[in-house]
Amino acid sequence: MIIDVHGHYTTEPTPLREFRAAQLRGESPSVHSLAAAVSDDAIRESVDANQLRVLRDRGGDLMLFSPRASGMEHHVPDADVANAWAQASNDMVHRVSESFPAHFASVAQLPQTPDGNLEGVLAELRRTVSELGFVGANLNPDPSGTWTGLPLTDPTWFPIYELAEQLDVPLMVHVSTSCNPNFHTLGAHYLNADTSVFMQLLMSDLFSRFPGLRFVIPHGGGAVPYHWGRYRGLAMRNDWQDPSELLGNVFFDTAVYHQPGIDLLLKVVPPANLLFASEMLGAVRGADPETGVEWDDTLSYLRAAEMAEPEWDAITRANALRVYPRLATRIAEVAS
């Protein structure tokens, strides 16, 4: 079994987009009415010729599936709006996973706001994991979209970590839309967040307080693998922990869109800390004209890399089951 830990519902039904547009106009559309407006056939059709087809064509079996990342829009300050939007988005993702249980497992959008909305975040994390069977959640380290908040190591985040430990679910670090035109959402903001969060963790003792907490940093960790020596040097200079000490709790996905990038990632990060991911259908679509390979066909890059069978199995299957233990339970239940 080949497991892709990073996919998004970027082909969501039109009524969901209309629901969001109504919210942003200041209306209060009904989550229940939205559910009734989208048929099960519409849910199936939205992924059958898209994410599911591509997953199968490339040789994958199962995808961890979450709402559109840029659509989370945590910069919108109203907590009630955020709560309803997260519920609506997560319910749609849940219906995908229920329609294709052998191929999709759900990961939650949390109703974060610039002020935190901690009560709403905790309630939605509990609901999606305990009631709907979600296997993880995305956590935005910058709900403001302008980097005006506190780092992920600040105590204001601790209640989320306590609940994540209790539920035994990992958190994927994933920002949403950039609200600063200096930082392109897909080309700068996402990768900046991955890099910045790793640095925040390096300077902290967060995992001594939360030893069971697990973060997945997407997009190959941003600049982290390329500058591993810088992090080691800074750690020695400032008497911080060595970056390797974070690897009991921090994992990286393989959503890197060229062969040299994948090769570097495999050389720097231990196989035990890498999880196969494509992020499709997401940031980059189409094929590299020089190779003919789809940009986000990261499985082809892994196949072309030099690795032994145990490393291949770890990166494409075993690590996902270890980092996402509720996924292992779900797979067993679906199989039975």
Please give the positions annotated as active site.
279
Tokens of 77: 């300050």
Q: How far is CA 108 from CA 121, 165, 209, 213, in A?
A: 10, 16, 24, 17
State the angle between helix axes of 118-126 and 158-167 in degrees (0 to 180), rounded to the nearest 10.
10
- Give the single-character DSSP code of 290: T
Q: Helix crossing, 118-126 with 79-99: angle to 10°?
A: 20
Nearest to 121 by CA among 130, 112, 133: 112
Q: In what order do the strands lie in the sheet with 171-173?
A: 3-9, 62-67, 104-109, 136-139, 171-173, 215-217, 250-253, 274-275
297 in Cβ contact with 58 (< 8 Å) = yes
CA distance between the termini of the chain: 16
* Neighbouring residues of 34: CB distance < 8 A, sequence distance ≥ 6: 15, 16, 19, 88
Tokens of 5: 């830990």
